[in-house]
């Protein structure tokens, strides 16, 4: 007797992948998996808290040219993300966790819709485009960054916009001049989001598609338009304004150190050349299980070298992903998110590989089945393993991390894992019947269930563990408004954002002493080791211990003037002449 598995009514939506209604399926999935999770958790250091605080300071100061942290210029990232957050936050008194994440969420939606468009126009298949959007949305890294305060999703949206405009103008002859100029505007926006990679990624796509088509001459139209002038005015205009306001050292930091130096001799996130061979598959889970099937598809289309739309699309997408992979593998500093703009190309390849086999015996069908089996096993491990681990305790985590997920959260995560297992099992059955679209819809439905509960339960648990909101309120109640705090590195921007106070970050004992003795800071927040070693030395020996709290597993000590002996004037909060802030 054949195994019978229930197929929920929602799986009837599988036939929407090649219909005009597919767009609403993707938008609805985005609302559930991204929009619903924006308010769930606190901002997470280092990136979320840093970018959120920079946007807040820009909104407060009214200086939309120079990003600052603690009132001091910061050249780590260009300003477009902060502009976007500030614009969304204008109706509110302050930047909030939700308003800070809205630009990334909207950028993710734009990427999904543009990926659908690329699949429809280049691949010639609406189903491949819709399937790619669902695959992209339910990949672990894209899902996370879609509701994350970071430059990377916004960069990916500008990259996809420039790619769409340029490739349609150059290879499809659609209103060429206007689209080319608009593509340069999108590339400039990408550069103003995260630097020169905003131009690099679209150019890599044009090179890849030109190679796939064997049409190189059309690329000459790109620099001959008025686009480069517009690009130079937009990017150069901000650089000139930034340099004039912040000074040459900060301009050099923005142009040279944060780009060329970071690529050639990074000072953080230094990884070996083979880092992305393991990191990229982890970030693309569970769709990285399809890599063997994708390899079969790519090899077949490279060998064929015909002019069919699928062949051009496969070769272009594969080369684009490979070029990005190689370029960032050559950088001394590496993070998984650096490859995010190449993920839409991977999603299109994965969708094409998944939907291509019509019958079990066709090339790639076995690897598709193997990927679905692996997904089912992953769901089973989560569904069964999480309750077992929770019952026995999680080794390796700090003691206070225990108990953050209660019985309801554990049950929800377990149910999510079993939903993925069920969805993958239904997908195996549908794929065996030749219903590729139904199989893709089934496994994405199950995966969406797991990701949703992980986002809700995990975000809630993280907020309980970190406790940034509560600590911010505590600091605000003990440090009068207008006072400046010397804060030891680690949670600097997080404390600033949630306490609504200004501060100066320090890393050495001498920096701390100078900040207090000079009058720059009236209060100090130290970690336990430094507090124990300096508590009886000047100038800390004259300060009172006001609070001791653990934040994210680290104990912080708040010191300040004795409230009984200090008047309302307190210490100055501006930097005195001749006093270095660090």
* Residue 410: predicted pLDDT: 85
Residue 291 near residue 281 (C-beta atoms within 8 A): yes
Distance CA 554, CA 549 (A): 8
DSSP of 27-82:
HHHHHHHTGGGTTSS---TTHHHHHHHHHHHHHHH---SS-EETTEE--SS-SHHH
% of the chain exceeding 70 in pLDDT: 91
Closest by CA position to 183, among listed 119, 227, 232, 236: 227
**Inter-residue contact 51 to 164 (CB < 8 Å):** no
Q: Which of 221-225, 230-234, 456-460 has the highest mean pLDDT?
A: 230-234
Q: Is the CB of residue 310 less than 8 Å from the CB of residue 122?
A: no
The tens digit of pLDDT for each residue in 115-160 reads 999 999 999 999 999 999 999 999 999 999 999 999 999 999 999 9
How far apart are the C-alpha atoms of 240 and 248, rounded to whole Å? 10
Give me the pLDDT at residue 215, please. 93
Distance from C-alpha of 366 to C-alpha of 580, rounded to nearest angstrom = 65
- Residue ranges matching CATH 3.40.190.10 in the chain: 469-560
* Whole-prediction pTM: 0.92
User: 384 Cβ partners below 8 Å, 6+ apart?
Assistant: 414, 417
123 contacts 310 by C-beta, under 8 angstroms: yes
Pairing state between β 484-488 and 502-506: parallel
Tokens representing 317 are 């997408």
Average pLDDT, the chain: 89
CA distance 288 to 94: 40
Q: What residues contact 225, with CB distance under 8 A and at least 6 apart?
A: 177, 180, 181, 184
Cα distance between residue 68 and residue 491, in whole Å: 16
pLDDT, residue 564, reads 59
- State the pLDDT at residue 87: 96
pLDDT digits (tens, 9 = 90+) for 474-495: 999 999 999 999 999 989 999 9
Res. 545 pLDDT band, cuts 50 70 90 = very high
Q: Does 7 have pLDDT greater than 50?
A: no
Average pLDDT over residues 234-249: 95
At the fourth CATH level, the homologous superfamily of domain 469-560 is Periplasmic binding protein-like II (3.40.190.10)
Mean pLDDT of 382-399: 67
575/502 Cα distance (integer angstroms): 12
Taking only the tens place, the pLDDT of each residue in 333-359 is: 999 999 999 999 999 999 999 998 877
Q: Which is more confidently placed, 384 or 154?
A: 154
From the list 204, 201, 168, 208, the residue with the least C-alpha distance to 187 is 201
Q: Tell me what the mean pLDDT of segment 212-230 comes to.
A: 93
CA angle 441, 444, 449 (to 5 degrees): 125
pLDDT at 312 over 60: yes
More confident call, 157 vs 462: 157
What is the residue-wise DSSP string for 9-30?
GGGGGGGGGGSTTHHHHHHHHH
pLDDT of 309 higher than 70: yes
The answer to whether the Cα torsion of 490, 496, 497, 499 is positive or negative is positive
Residue 199 has pLDDT above 80, yes or no: yes
Q: How far, in whole angstroms, is CA 345 from its chain's centroid?
A: 17
């Amino acid at each position: 007797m054949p195994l019978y598995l229930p197929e929920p009514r929602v799986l009837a939506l599988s036939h929407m992948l090649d219909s005009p209604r597919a767009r609403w399926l993707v938008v609805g999935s985005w609302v559930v998996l991204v929009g619903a999770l924006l308010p769930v958790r606190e901002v997470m250091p280092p990136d979320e808290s840093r970018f959120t605080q920079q946007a807040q300071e820009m909104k407060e100061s009214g200086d939309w040219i120079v990003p600052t942290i603690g009132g001091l210029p910061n050249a780590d990232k260009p300003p477009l993300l902060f502009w976007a957050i500030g614009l969304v936050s204008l109706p509110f008194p302050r930047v909030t966790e939700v308003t800070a994440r809205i630009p990334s969420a909207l950028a993710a939606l734009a990427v999904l819709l543009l990926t659908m468009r690329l699949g429809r126009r280049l691949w010639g298949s609406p189903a491949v485009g819709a399937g790619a959007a669902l695959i992209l949305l339910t990949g672990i890294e894209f899902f996370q960054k879609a509701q994350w305060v970071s430059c990377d999703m916004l960069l990916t949206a500008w990259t996809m916009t420039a790619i769409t405009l340029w490739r349609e103008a150059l290879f499809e002859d659609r209103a060429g001049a206007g689209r080319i100029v608009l593509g340069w505007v999108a590339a400039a926006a990408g550069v103003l989001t995260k630097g020169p990679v905003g131009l690099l990624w679209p150019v890599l796509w044009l090179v890849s598609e030109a190679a796939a088509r064997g049409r190189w001459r059309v690329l000459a139209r790109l620099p001959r338009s008025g686009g480069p002038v517009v690009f130079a005015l937009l990017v150069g205009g901000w650089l000139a304004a930034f340099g004039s306001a912040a000074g040459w050292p900060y301009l050099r930091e923005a142009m040279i150190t944060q780009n060329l130096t970071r690529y050639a001799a990074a000072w953080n996130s230094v990884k070996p050349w083979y880092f992305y061979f393991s990191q990229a598959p982890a970030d693309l889970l569970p769709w990285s299980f399809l890599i063997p099937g994708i390899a079969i598809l790519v090899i077949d289309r490279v060998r064929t070298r015909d002019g069919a739309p699928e062949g051009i699309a496969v070769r272009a997408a594969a080369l684009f992903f490979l070029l990005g992979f190689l370029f960032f593998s050559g950088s001394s500093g590496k993070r998984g998110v650096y490859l995010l703009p190449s993920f839409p190309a991977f999603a299109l390849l994965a969708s094409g590989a998944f939907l291509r086999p019509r019958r079990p015996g066709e090339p790639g069908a076995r690897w598709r089945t193997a990927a679905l089996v692996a997904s089912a096993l992953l769901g089973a491990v989560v569904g069964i393993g999480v309750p077992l681990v929770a019952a026995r305790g999680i080794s390796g985590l700090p003691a206070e991390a225990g108990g953050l997920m209660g019985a309801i959260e554990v049950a929800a995560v377990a149910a999510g894992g079993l939903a993925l297992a069920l969805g993958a099992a239904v997908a195996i059955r549908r794929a065996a019947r030749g219903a590729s679209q139904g199989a893709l819809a089934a496994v994405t439905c199950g995966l969406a269930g797991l990701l949703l509960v992980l986002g809700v339960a995990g975000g809630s648990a993280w907020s309980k563990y970190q406790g940034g909101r509560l600590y911010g309120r505590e600091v605000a109640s003990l440090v009068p408004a207008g006072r400046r705090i010397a804060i030891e590195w680690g949670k600097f921007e997080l404390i600033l954002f949630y306490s609504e106070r200004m501060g100066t970050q320090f890393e050495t004992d001498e920096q701390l002493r100078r900040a207090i003795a000079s009058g720059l800071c009236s209060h100090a927040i130290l970690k336990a080791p430094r507090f124990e070693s300096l508590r009886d030395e000047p100038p800390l020996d004259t300060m009172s211990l006001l609070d001791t709290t653990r934040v994210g597993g680290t104990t912080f000590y708040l010191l300040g003037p004795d409230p009984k002996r200090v008047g309302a004037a307190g210490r100055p909060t501006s930097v005195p002449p001749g006093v270095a802030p660090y």
